[in-house]
Amino acid sequence: MRTFLDAKAMAKAMREALAAKNVDIPHSEALEIVARQFGLESWNILSARIERGEGGALVGKVGRGIAFEQAVPILRIFDVAKAHEFYLGFLGFSVDWEHRYEDNSPLYTQVSRAGLRLHLSEHSGDASPGGNMVVYMSGVEAFQRELAAKRYRYMNPGLEKEDGRLEVEVIDPFGNRIRFMEIVKDD
């Protein structure tokens, strides 16, 4: 069984790895980063969940079967302003958190909307541009109408119906393809 101490050990290991590269961060900041890696706003929230046995991937229970949490894709970006215009302005996501090791370092950030979380990274080793993902959702017709109403200058995605699904496909400024898909019953 994984415990509260495992999360602290993760923070300690991160601090040691960064220190080896002459990057020093306080232990409290490392704990906050570990919490954000699990999709939570703060270390206080993570530690409370762990203590209550709600740590998801952190806390296993004897006899509990395998369970996966939500996958969080990492998408490579090259320009923060263009990424914000697309993901925040056009798709309607919000920034959950941003991280840079120092002022001139590449950005690593999480954006989310309605339960979907995406990580956007300027770090060269995190992801390759041109990825492709499927996001299952409900309300895809309303989402397509919302996007069309924004009159985004670079894209006006349509709504495709094929093989029992409705789909809206968008491509970000960095070549990453996102297919928003809803399974529907044929009439």
54-90 residue pLDDT tens: 655 554 444 457 778 888 999 999 999 999 999 999 9
Per the model's pLDDT, the better-predicted residue between 34 and 56 turns out to be 34
pLDDT tier for residue 1 given thresholds of 50, 70 and 90: very low
Residue 114 domain-assigned? yes
Does 139 lie in the same domain as 90?
A: yes
Per the model's pLDDT, the better-predicted residue between 165 and 35 turns out to be 165
Does 117 lie in the same domain as 28?
A: no
CB 108 within 8 A of CB 155: no
Does 114 lie in the same domain as 155?
A: yes
Does 81 lie in the same domain as 150?
A: yes
* DSSP state letter for 121: E
Residue 180 belongs to what H/E stretch?
A: strand 177-183
Among the candidates 51, 66, 83, a domain finishes at 51
Does 80 lie in the same domain as 115?
A: yes
Q: Is the pLDDT of residue 91 over 90?
A: yes
Instruction: Return the pLDDT at 187.
Output: 58
DSSP secondary structure string, 147-170? HHHTT-TT-----EEETTEEEEEE
DSSP secondary structure string, 61-120? -TT----------EEE-S-HHHHIIIIIIIT--EEEEEE-SSTTSPPEEEEEETTEEEEE
Q: Is the pLDDT of residue 161 over 80?
A: yes
| Structural domain total, the chain | 2
Does 98 lie in the same domain as 138?
A: yes
Instruction: Return the pLDDT at 186.
Output: 63
Instruction: Residue 179: give its domain's CATH number.
Output: 3.10.180.10
Residue 67 domain-assigned? no
Q: How far apart are CA 166 and CA 119, in angstroms?
A: 25
- The range of the structural domain enclosing residue 21 comes to 4-51
Mean pLDDT for all residues in the chain: 86
Residue 61 domain-assigned? no
Does 165 lie in the same domain as 117?
A: yes
Task: Measure CA 176 to chain center.
Answer: 14
Residue 45 domain-assigned? yes
Look at residues 45, 41, 46 and name the one whose alpha carbon lies nearest to residue 10. Answer: 46
Output the CA torsion sign for 178, 87, 115, 61: positive
Does 44 lie in the same domain as 101?
A: no
Q: pLDDT tens-digit profile of 92-140?
A: 999 999 999 998 999 999 999 999 999 999 998 889 989 999 999 999 9
- β pairing state of 116-121 and 108-113: antiparallel
Q: Is the pLDDT of residue 160 over 90?
A: yes
Q: Is the pTM of this model over 0.85?
A: no
Does 162 lie in the same domain as 89?
A: yes
